[in-house]
Amino acid sequence: MKDFRDFKVWKKSRELVLETYADSRGFPADERFGLTSHLRKTVISIPSNIAEGCGRDSDRDFARFLTIAMGSASEARYQILLAHDLRYLSEGRYKVLDSLVREVKRMLAGLINTLS
């Protein structure tokens, strides 16, 4: 059993969650149950799946949860783009979040390849 807190990708995805929460506080009130909620759930799914995979018995199971985290990261990347397109995120904040999610995806891909 692995400790999820030891993985750099978990730390980076946690950073993405915290940054996303901070930025989404400024989204319009009418998005509270729309994009704000959905984006937050999506980014939370990334480190959550890494943590759950660490609690599994095999590298194969761990890799499966990392693959789920990768899907959530892809979804988050689109939702961050949408928030920018709707002008809920400035160009600068969009670039920060997009860079974070791309880095998380690269790290996930590397870890999945190592386990395969």
* Nearest of 35, 31, 33, 69 to residue 50 by alpha carbon: 69
Low-confidence ranges of the chain (pLDDT < 70): none
d(CA 7, CA 70): 15
What is the homologous superfamily of the domain 4-115 according to CATH? 23S rRNA-intervening sequence (1.20.1440.60)
Say what the pLDDT of residue 17 is: 98
Per-residue 3-state assignment (H helix, E strand, C coil) for 59-107 = HHHHHHHHHHHHHHHHHHHHHHHHHHHCCCCCHHHHHHHHHHHHHHHHH
Q: What is the pLDDT of residues 76-108, one digit of tens each?
A: 999 999 999 999 999 999 999 999 999 999 999
Domain boundaries, the chain: 4-115
CA angle 48, 31, 49 (to 5 degrees): 10
Say what the pLDDT of residue 55 is: 92
Say what the pLDDT of residue 2 is: 85
